[in-house]
Amino acid sequence: MTEFMYRFRPVDRLLGENYVEGELQEQYIFFASPEQLNDPLEGYKDIYFHGDRIVWKNLIKHYLRCLIESSIDFTCAKAGELPVKKAGVFASAVYATEAMNNLNTYIFSKLSNEPIINEFISAISLDRKVRRWELIIYVQTLHFYFLDIIFESFYEKGILTEPLKYFPTDRASTLNNIKTSASIISSKAQLTAEQELDFLKSYQANNERMLLTKLRKDGRGREYWFFLLFEYPETFCRDIEKLMYPDWYTACFMSSCSDSSIWGSYGGNHKDVCLKFRTQTNSNGTYIELTAPNGQDRNGITKGQVGFKFYEVSYEKDFVNIDFFQSLGHLPMPVLTETWFAGENKQLSPCGNEMLSESDNWRKNYWQNFYHAATVKLRAWNREKESRLILTSSINNLGNANDRKLRYNFESLEGIIFGINTTTENKLKIIKCIEQQCKALQRTNFSFYQARYDEQSREINYYKLESIKVGFSASSNQ
């Protein structure tokens, strides 16, 4: 990896408003969530589900618990209130109130008394990999019946004052559909590639029907019910990925700034600038030191100097394959045992053997898969030549953007490269801002560069602005 790394930044973010909270004045690098990046496949994992009856039954029980809590939220919502389209996947009997656990036990007992539900759980406990599309079909199949029983139980327990009966099919038809699905699933102990694709086609067809239903019903004022009735299964199947790894955030750099198309996109049509950072190297690779969250005390998040490694992005590797049941590393041990790996007689599923023993081999593979997922992009992005810093924490909640503004040592910023179309006004603002920083921190020199098109290499090169002398001088008392 090169001695320098490059980071394109918009001028308005560098300067802020009147230099207040601007990235230059505050000397910080912002770490963005995957959702804030421009690739919808950031952090994509090819997740599959492969387990015994214990973990599959626990997955269905967990779905029920999350659905009960979301249904309670629905009953408490004000008329016309829009839903927060999330499933509370961290719900657990370990931390729930006694009343909530009793309600869960009551509803699950009602479901367990229905033989068809037990048949379905046995049918999906297959000794093969189940992909996410297949899982969505599974929970969609159960969803209407579960929701029907939940609201019936709410009425029986006095949570609702009258029955709720807004379901698209009657209970008998729903159960018959579950029974038919169980038979079909049981017959597919092993899948061909074509049969696996059938689940994706079924998912797509269900999505189309959902959109068509919303189009025809014009559900204004009933968005919450529509979400709970139709969108919830896929929301749950998406959100359970959060149980595997802590949230992560990244700051993107490049090993070169010579591509004109990159200047056009990340450099604001060549009007913005590129920061040139000096890196350090040790036996673990290339890194930069930042002041970052490193713990927590009674006053909140603590911070200290942390060396952040640069991870090169691969444009050739495949997306990582991860077994969900053996990668629940973001959950505490009591939840793992009680919610996921313990059967009815406290028998533990072998799926959790390595995880519960916290073996070195499991931990090594677990984090290898994490960094693999966070550093793979499709080949179409290979012009970027990207490396990234990755911020994550199992201790701190870093959802607040201010906690992800990590300060760098001003000496690490070797210089700033102006784009071909950076305005003179913006150049002057940046130079003045750097002058202030050099004076405040007594830095004796700082380099400015100008990007230009090189006719020989047909690339964007840059040259140093030798006459722009910026730095602290004790003799002149700048």
pTM: 0.90
Q: What percent of the chain has pLDDT over 70?
A: 96
> What tokens were used for 167?
């379901």
- CA torsion through residues 395, 399, 400, 401, sign: positive
Q: Which tops the pLDDT comparison, 216 or 103? A: 103
Q: Compute the average pLDDT of residues 9-15.
A: 95
Q: Compute the average pLDDT of residues 203-227.
A: 78
- Alpha-carbon distance of 302 to 291, in angstroms, equals 10
pLDDT surpassing 60 at residue 404: yes
Q: 167: which DSSP letter?
A: -
pLDDT surpassing 80 at residue 168: no
- ∠ at Cα 364 (359, 366), nearest 5°? 95
Q: Percentage helix, strand, coil, to 5, in the chain? A: 45, 20, 35
Burial 411-446 (b: 16+ CB within 10 A, else e): ebbbbbbbbbebeeebbebbbebbeebbeeeebeeb
- Alpha-carbon distance of 209 to 215, in angstroms, equals 10
Weakest-pLDDT range from 217-221, 413-417, 467-471: 217-221
pLDDT surpassing 90 at residue 39: yes
Q: Tens digit of pLDDT for each residue in 314-325?
A: 999 999 999 999
pLDDT surpassing 50 at residue 478: no
pLDDT surpassing 60 at residue 9: yes
> What tokens were used for 206?
């269900």
Q: Cβ(371)–Cβ(311) under 8 Å?
A: yes
Q: Tens digit of pLDDT for each residue in 243-290?
A: 999 999 999 999 999 999 999 999 999 999 999 999 999 998 999 999
Q: Which residues contact 180 (CB under 8 A, 6 or more apart)?
A: none
Residues in the chain: 478
Q: Per-residue confidence at 300, pLDDT binned at 50, 70, 90?
A: confident
- CA torsion through residues 330, 333, 334, 339, sign: positive
Every domain of the chain and the residues it spans: 4-43+246-319+376-464, 47-243
